[in-house]
A and B are shown apart, each in its own frame.
Chain A
């Protein structure tokens, strides 16, 4: 774990698509460094015994058949979109010419 209990909050916020004010950056930096210092206690735990074989996730045999079923209507979806046009969700231009 990080020894100085510090993360680059501004960089991580960019990864998370979060714009932060300078004040937020400073506040979160201090608060989250404190949290990271606390969770460093997990380094004390002896994990040498091989009892921690993680078996997570679903195996392919557990997946249900891919059957099409009735779902939410197009209308209901568009009704929730903050901006729409011609039955489509409107977004800023994604590809430059």
Chain B
């Protein structure tokens, strides 16, 4: 039998229910491998062993009393910007040092109801601002496939924990690609749900109109299992959608094919700047989908080239307002000042990292008097054109296929001095957030250097089942998801 910690949610559901193994054994195996790793992958910011052990024990007791909740005893790592009552929630920032969450986020309440064990808090870019987990004040996380490469970001700790078998699955968040990009870099499945599908209550806000929580997992079925637990209407989130939640995992059927599916290839996603190895792997995956019965059609999303500009105006504008709450008064770090204004400015200077400061300044600027119409309002107007582009293509396609990232993971430090260069890498993911669609990344190959490559499947609003179906058929007919990193080659 495979070691417990290397198993998927699906596999653990049977191994745990057969009674041969326990959740306590499972979390102890995870503690061991994390300890042996000695911070080389470094996915975790904090790991409350006592609490995790207690929750695992409770799950085992429930199972003994014939409890059969869907995630009973399954440990899930949590990106450190989702509130879990009684735990720190640092957002990888010095400014939240000492903060203890006074409540559970709705996704955590739902995970608890399903019996999951909250397993440790994973690293991220500060306040989810970044694409490499290098903007992190509290530790370094590496790509398990090549330890001198970045895991992607901002949910880099989530993806690294899953890829290295340091967690069974993880919750991340995606504002401009922060679930899909690290999932692609680390060879995991990562799904950004439709805006409003999953409650944001208890998610520390970066850009409220774009943020969504979603799963990062070892397989497509695991993503479906986690998604069906965390989705659903929440009166505590005014943007939450009141739509029924399908039984996503039950919908996945190996005997189905892609016959009758029409999949679009947006030509703007295969333009200059895409690494040849990425393009080759994605085109091969498209060929595989065709051989599984899908009809492939060329489509155009003509405003794709403007997505980065629109995104960095809208996201930073919202961030500048959302991060105003970190002022040293109610929680976290405080640097004393002679008056409140001085206290705010000194606290924020000491507690926020460079990328958060840059984005607050840019966001304040685009909302400031005299510049609002030129930047913010224009960006909103172009955002409407991006939405129209997607509406048009989804009239003729069931879903779209594309790369997730222009390149595989890069070396640490390669892009940290050039923020614009780092921003431009988000070109293939931000449009989906701006349009509110759902999308996922599924492993579709490796570069010659042994770094994973992801295939992006993009769906219309609330078409999570469709993109899961496509990714599942592809995954079941390939074996990329079965490869494991050695976590030893530097």
Taken together as a complex, chains A and B put the C-alpha atoms of A42 and B310 apart, in Å, by 8
Decide if A17 touches B102 in the complex (CB within 8 Å).
no
Number of interface residues of A (CB under 8 A): 48
Q: Are B364 and A12 in contact (CB under 8 A)?
A: yes
Does B299 belong to the interface (CB within 8 Å)?
Answer: no
Mask of A1-20 contacts with B, CB within 8 angstroms, 1/0: 11000010100111111111
- Cβ of A81 within 8 Å of any chain B Cβ, yes or no, is yes
Is A61's CB within 8 Å of the partner chain B? no
Separation of A28 and B417 alpha carbons in the complex (Å): 11
Count chain A CB atoms within 10 A of each CB in B324, B365, B385 and give the residue with the most.
B365
> What size tier do the contact residues of chain B reach?
35 or more
B340:A92 contact, CB within 8 angstroms? yes
Contact A77–B339 (Cβ < 8 Å): no
Q: Tell me the chain A residues, 51-84 only, with Cβ under 8 Å from chain B.
A: 51-52, 54, 56, 58, 64, 72-73, 76-77, 79-83
B375 in contact (CB, < 8 A):
yes
Instruction: Give the residues in chain A near B374, CB-CB below 8 Å.
Output: 1-2
Residues of chain B within 8 A (CB-CB) of A80 are 98-100, 102, 330-332
Residue of B nearest to A47 (CB): B381
Is there an interface contact between B380 and A54, defined as CB atoms closer than 8 Å? yes
State which of B309, B310, B313, B331 has its C-beta within 8 Å of the C-beta of A82. B331
* Chain B: minimal CB distance from A53 (Å): 8
Inter-subunit contact B330/A89 (CB<8 Å)? yes
Question: Is A19 within 8 A of B346, CB to CB?
Answer: yes
Please state if B362 and A52 are interface contacts (CB–CB under 8 Å): no
Interface residues of B in 222-256 (CB under 8 A from A): 235, 238
B357–A28 CB distance below 8 A:
yes
Bound-complex Cα distance A80 to B334 (A): 11
Most buried by A among B102, B338, B361: B361
Partner of B348, one of A17, A31, A79, A83: A17
- Measured CA separation A11–B217 after assembly (Å): 45
Given the complex of chains A and B, what is the CA–CA distance between A42 and B103 in angstroms?
41
Cross-chain contact A24 with B306 (CB below 8 angstroms): no
The answer on a CB contact under 8 Å between A47 and B378 is yes
- Report which of B320, B330, B343, B365 forms a contact with A7, defined as CB distance below 8 A: B365
Distance between Cα atoms of A64 and B100 in the complex (Å): 29
CB distance from A50 to the nearest CB of B (A): 10
The residue that B384 contacts in the complex, of A27, A51, A72, with Cβ under 8 A, is: A51
A96 to B360, CA, bound (A): 30
Given A17-B341, A82-B333, decide whether A45 and B385 contact each other with a Cβ distance below 8 A. Answer: yes
Is B357 within 8 A of A24, CB to CB? yes
- Contact mask B284-323 → A, CB, 8 Å, 1/0? 0000000000000000000101101110110000001000
CB-CB contacts below 8 Å: B372-414 with A: 374-375, 378-382, 384-385, 388
Give me 20 A-to-B residue pairs in the complex whose CB atoms sit less than 8 angstroms apart, sorted by A's number: A12-B365, A12-B368, A16-B320, A16-B324, A17-B341, A18-B345, A18-B352, A21-B349, A24-B357, A28-B361, A32-B365, A38-B308, A45-B306, A45-B385, A47-B378, A54-B380, A54-B381, A76-B103, A80-B330, A82-B331
- Using a CB–CB cutoff of 8 Å, the interface residues on chain A facing chain B are 1-2, 7, 9, 12-21, 24, 27-28, 31-32, 34-35, 38-39, 41-43, 45, 47, 51-52, 54, 56, 58, 64, 72-73, 76-77, 79-83, 89, 91-94
